[in-house]
Amino acid sequence: MKVEGRCHCGAINYEAEIDPEAVRICHCTDCQTLTGSAYRVNVQTPAASFVLRSGQPKIYIKTAESGNRRAHAFCPDCGTPIYAAAEGPSPPNFALRVGTLKQRRELKPTRQIWSRSQLPWAADLRDVTTVDRQ
């Protein structure tokens, strides 16, 4: 599936090919901290299909619990997280941030990882009051 993505301010725009069955939710504490939320939703794309159309993301290198180093790309103007990848000039793939994708409504997660760090309330929001607009 071809997808288009952009940061909040529009400075960074990209395109990629993804497998819509590969959408994942990550509950690790690093993702919670880096998003300022309960979890992060990602989808992998091969590096060969990722095309940066405009802008240049800023890179932050994070060291995981395993010791692996990951390059986290975000917009230097608005701070929107764009992707994560292996550190270095030629990563094999990118973990795109689903919230940046134009097609995000079509991308239902199929797997959750790092569930040992999942916040207890994140699994069931049915009883939380909903409001269409603020």
Token pair of 24, please? 């994942």
Distances (CA, A) of 123 to 10, 25, 87, 98: 32, 11, 32, 19
57: in domain: yes
Note down the domain range covering 18.
2-118
128: in domain: no
Q: What is the pLDDT along the chain (134 residues), one digit of tens a residue?
A: 999 999 999 999 999 999 999 999 999 999 999 999 999 999 999 999 999 999 999 999 999 878 889 999 999 999 999 999 999 888 999 999 999 999 999 999 999 999 999 999 998 888 888 998 88
130: in domain: no
133: in domain: no
129: in domain: no
Tell me if 36 sits within 8 A of 52, measured CB to CB.
no
14: in domain: yes
Q: How many domains does the chain have?
A: 1
Check which CATH number belongs to the domain holding 54 and give it: 2.170.150.70
3-state secondary structure (DSSP) of residue 22: helix
